[in-house]
Amino acid sequence: MTSTLQRTPEEIRDRHAENLGRQVGAGIFNPRQLLTSFPDALRKFDPRYQLRNPVMFVVWAGSLLVTVFAVSDPSVFTVAVAVWLWFTVLFANLAEAVAEGRGKAQADSLRRTKKDAVARRLTEDGSEECVPGTDLRIGDLVVVEAGEVIPGDGDVVEGIATVDESAITGESAPVIRESGGDRSAVTGGTTVLSDRIVVQITTKPGETFVDRMIALVEGAERQKTPNEIALTILLSTLTIIFLLAVVALQPFAIYSGGEQSVVVLTALLVCLIPTTIGALLSAIGIAGMDRLVQRNVLATSGKAVEAAGDIDTLLLDKTGTITWGNRRATEFIAANGSDERRLVEAVRLSSLADGTPEGRSIVELCAEKYGLPAVPTEHEKTGEFVPFTAQTRMSGIDLGGRSIRKGAASGFQTSDEVRAIVDRISEDGGTPLVVAENDEVLGVIRLSDVVKPGMKERFAELRAMGIRTVMVTGDNPLTAKAIAAEAGVDDFLAEAKPEDKMALIRKEQEGGRLVAMTGDGTNDAPALAQADVGVAMNTGTSAAKEAGNMVDLDSDPTKLIEIVEIGKQLLITRGALTTFSVANDLAKYFAILPAMFAAIYPALDRLNIMHLATPQSAILSAVIFNALVIVALIPLALKGVRYRPSSASALLRRNLLIYGLGGVVTPFAGIWLIDLLVRLIPGIG
């Protein structure tokens, strides 16, 4: 097996191109999807399924009724109306089937990543036993070495390794997973590329992260969101109103001597009710979650996607989210008249046996900048390493009568000069470590928690959307203030404990604001659960991923900007197509009503502004347009209306101008063009 680390740059590039092509292909509407989804669309003709959508159920019932008349008393007009009413139902089914089909294709792709692994489970006496991965239970400890597949979701409790997660994230570059941190979670089905780790299983068989992804992207149990439910109620109410209006129309027509056929009344009803948005409503919701999956974000509910579109406040965990998380040594500052070379040598000795990321970075800086060896000599190996403890808040080494320590400034007797250096580093957003030899302070190490590139620009985009950003960190206020200024966030919460994060979220929510939060640690889990939108990093702990209602598989905190845009896009798309659907009914009035009553009231012929040939051609043209417009709008429903950061009033004006005016003009042109063809049919024109 060729590991990710062994791939050539060309292979990695090709893999990225393949993943990109798969994602882009999933995001663009392909006409072939209509053909592949056709069988599913036919299955949706089941009346039990149609009952879920009141608007389309009325169309289904009307199609059945007209079909009965077409069979009992056939005519070209009646048969044509029946056929196109069934096409209207078919196209509505097709819109939803295409949206669901893309999710099923992604689910099939995920199923191919699942592997039935054999697990090396640790027994109570420390020995190993080989068992099928399906036999693992929560709490089991399994050993995974280089080249082996991780048999189930869990947390690394021992060791450190590189892991290939490309099957899940699509990212070819390996990731580091290690015990004791916020990057300890591993996903079943991924492959260990190097070293050895012990994983504690945290999920039951069949309930792994990949299993949940498959169930969610298939959308079989997708529940309607509150906004979607409200819009469904509105559309149902409009349908009932138009149904009563059409039923009441017949007595007036009979009184006037112009009784209308059931076929004509049914065609009028179908054209009056909001069939366009009724047919596309479910597809819009499914496509919103689908667009998240394309961007490697897993949402546990459509409600979370909608909530993302209305977010007012965004809380971001600093470590691993705004910053890289691993503090690195960037500078050694001598003090109290100490020689810089002596400081650097002491710093190196104190860190040779320090396996933390900070300790390793200190040794690396000594080697890169000062040319000191990165490995200890035989003499240095005889020293006694003093590990860091919470009580002493320092670590170091005892070697040949030398006692070298590094740690927090509070653990040393410091001069005014050293305190000034410590304060300056803290104000700049760094972490100071004081270094002393035999109780003589030699200087200070500057550790920098580096802000990820591009963060300031991304936060500026959020500000343009009207979203307030708050950085949450356990750092002291001086350090937090400096990093907040460098990153460009609007506010910060320093020295934050889990209960402080919860209190801040509740305070925002009590003010009527929707709150989103990103995080990756176990200490973030309560806040992720409380937030309206909780986005957990895939590199984070299992607790964080369970608490959130979204998981970012790329572990990119700036991805939340895209999540917000997708949420807003979903709401805007639904509003735009609703506006279009209601507006295009206007043209149908001008097509059908004059055709129905012009013979009785000649003055109504003035409303026939499209100069349609005959009453039959006018009614049939409106029914055909009503069906075809659904197919024409499927790509827009799946792709979504483009979102541009702007105010609500500007969005409303744009919506009314493009989709309101477009919804009025398009049907006039469409029905007129269809009528030119329909009038050529014998018995119609």
Average pLDDT over residues 288-294: 79
Residue tagged active-site, from 164, 211, 317, 556: 317
More confident residue, 448 or 340: 340
Which is higher by pLDDT, 493 or 585?
Answer: 493
Looking at the chain, the whole-number percentage of residues with pLDDT higher than 70 is 86
Asked if 96 and 219 count as a contact pair (C-beta separation under 8 A), the reply is no
**Higher pLDDT residue, 561 or 215?**
561
pLDDT digits (tens, 9 = 90+) for 475-509: 778 878 888 888 899 999 988 877 888 889 999 99
178 close to 540: Cβ distance less than 8 angstroms: no
Task: State residue 256's pLDDT score.
Answer: 78
Rounded to 5 degrees, φ, ψ at 333 are: -120, 115
Q: Tell whether the model's pLDDT for residue 685 goes beyond 70.
A: no
- Cα separation, 664 vs 357, whole angstroms: 64
Find, among 208, 177, 268, 69, the residue nearest to 546 by Cα: 208
pLDDT digits (tens, 9 = 90+) for 255-275: 877 788 899 899 989 988 999
Distant-in-sequence, close-in-space partners of 250: CB < 8 Å, separation ≥ 6? 259, 260, 265
Q: Mean pLDDT of all residues in the chain? A: 81
**Is 392 labelled as part of a ligand binding site?**
yes
**455 is annotated as contributing to ligand binding:** no
- Give, in order, the Cα–Cα distances in Å from 453 to each of 331, 456, 556: 20, 8, 12
Contact by Cβ (8 Å): 41, 93: yes
Considering the entire predicted model, what is its pTM? Answer: 0.66
Alpha-carbon dihedral angle through residues 54, 56, 58, 64, given to the nearest 10 degrees: -140
Non-local (6+) Cβ contacts of 91 within 8 A are 279, 627, 628, 630, 631, 634
Q: Is 475 annotated as a binding residue?
A: no
Instruction: Output the DSSP codes for 148-168.
Output: PBP-S-EEEEEEEEEEE-HHH
Domains of the chain in sequence order:
47-103+217-292+567-679 (no CATH), 118-151+153-202 (2.70.150.10), 301-322+452-553 (3.40.50.1000), 325-451 (3.40.1110.10)
**Residue 207's pLDDT is what?**
65
**617 annotated ligand-binding residue:** no
pLDDT, tens digit, 9 for 90 and up, residues 44-54: 999 988 988 89
Catalytic site residue 312? no
The reply to whether 388 sits in an annotated binding site is yes
Is 140 annotated in a binding site? The answer is: no
Q: Which tokens hold the place of 503? A: 């209190």
Please write the tens of the pLDDT for every residue from 144-178: 988 888 888 888 888 888 888 765 655 556 778 88
Of 6-10, 450-454, 484-488, 518-522, the range with the highest mean pLDDT is: 484-488
How far apart CA 425 and CA 475 sit, in angstroms, is 13
- Which of 300-309, 337-346, 362-371, 456-465 is predicted with the least confidence, judged by mean pLDDT? 300-309
